[in-house]
Amino acid sequence: MRLSNFQLLLTVTIGLFSLVSCQKQTEKDESILALSTKAQASVSNIGEIKLQEGVLFYPSNGESNINPSTVALEVGNYDQLVYATRLTEVQQQGLGATLALHLNVYAGTAQTEPFGYLYYFKTAKGTATPSAENDPTLTAAYRAGRVEMARYVLPYLSTQWNQSGLVNITTSSPVVPYEFDISAFASALKDQDSTIWIASSQGQPGNNSYTYKTDLTLVSSGNTDLNSWPKDNYTLPIVGFLNMGGTLTQTKSLTQSFTVPDDIADVKFRVLYTGPEGFYTTNVLTLDGQQIDSYSTRMVCVPEQRYQERNPSVANGSVQPGLWNYPTRNYCQSDTVPPRTAFMANMLTQGTHQLRLDMTQHVAGIANYGGAIVVSISLVGTLARNETQ
């Protein structure tokens, strides 16, 4: 039976339509497969990652870290010894939505209560751990792109005033534990397009005669599938780390411009701040000329017994209880420094913006105890284009 010209045309058209449909379905299937592979939905939670074990902070030539993925940065610079640990691809894929850092400090001696800092930073995909310390490429990436996740204060660890000489610190020494919730950075740490490093730094306590050891563990729990997480998937270090020096003037201000590549929803500005122990400040945060937050850094360190219990020098009877504990100050000894989070009700539009932090000082406790203001500010939010996907 012969087909009419119309029937022939119709048959060819249906065939072409079927071919195109099959091709589109194949492309769709491949696209879905790629998305599901990237999401790593079936990856098991990694659980715990031992980032550092038995790390000796100061003197720098006494390193005793057993993790081969860790390297020392800025070795030899006063107050700047940094240890950076690379996460493997398997570890990144196995990170869950709930993350915490557990830190144990094994007590030695220190004539001050230095601050400690915990960061992450990124390098090009596949970056290997350098074989030597002070690697210039890795150090440059750390300085330029570090995002501070947590800050803490060590206790006054001196067993005797003006004690000299090294102390033999072991894992049986008195331990000061810290725990930090870093879930806000979970999706940034899971970035499959970059190599992720976790870095830790502690201030040098006086001179090379004083030292302590630390263990650092990353603890992961919860769902590992990025597609089903709350989409805090954009993080920008506005101020990675800034030491503003002496603070005995009445007011200090910090102004920083930053650019976002897209509209950002669910915006949170996360400020970590410490200042001199004899003062606290009123901090006002302004975005593009509009105030978005105002708060006091005043901390009331009570009950005093809590800080005595966390200070091994007090616990072993070598230090008079309460001698270095003030009820009101800019920070509490041997404790974490809580981040201040300012929330934006409206979307942050694509483009360049200006953030300003004004800090007005007030006397607290002993006014002649100076120091420096140290600030980091990060933006955490959701790329608006992901809201419509």
pLDDT (0 to 100) of residue 20: 43
Do 46 and 86 fall into the same domain?
A: yes
Could you read off the pLDDT of 297-312 as tens digits, one per residue?
988 777 666 766 676 6
Q: Which of 198, 230, 262 is the last residue of a domain?
A: 230
| Residue 320 in tokens | 């008079």
Could you read off the pLDDT of 186-216 as tens digits, one per residue?
999 999 899 999 999 987 655 555 567 789 9
Could you read off the pLDDT of 112-128 as tens digits, one per residue?
677 899 999 999 999 99
CA 146 – CA 239 distance, rounded (Å): 9
pLDDT (0 to 100) of residue 173: 62
Q: The domain containing residue 330 runs over which residues? A: 231-389
- Among 292, 379, 294, smallest CA distance to 344 is for 292
CATH number of the domain to which 84 belongs? 2.60.120
Whether the bond between 237 and the residue before it is cis, its omega within 30 degrees of 0, is no
pLDDT (0 to 100) of residue 257: 98
Could you read off the pLDDT of 228-273 as tens digits, one per residue?
876 668 899 999 999 887 765 678 899 999 999 999 999 999 999 9
- DSSP annotation of 88: P
Q: Does some domain include residue 14?
A: no
SS3 (DSSP) at 371: coil
Do 113 and 50 fall into the same domain?
A: yes
pLDDT (0 to 100) of residue 40: 46
Do 236 and 356 fall into the same domain?
A: yes
Do 342 and 327 fall into the same domain?
A: yes
CA-CA-CA-CA torsion for 327, 330, 332, 337, nearest 10 degrees? 150
Do 47 and 76 fall into the same domain?
A: yes
Q: Does some domain include residue 24?
A: no
- Asked if pLDDT for residue 79 goes beyond 90, the answer is no
Do 166 and 81 fall into the same domain?
A: yes
Please give the tally of structural domains in the chain: 2
Do 188 and 302 fall into the same domain?
A: no
Do 187 and 270 fall into the same domain?
A: no
Q: Does some domain include residue 2?
A: no
Q: Which of 230, 253, 285 is the last residue of a domain?
A: 230
Top-confidence range, 40-49, 127-136, 173-182? 127-136
Q: Do 269 and 292 touch, CB atoms closer than 8 A?
A: yes
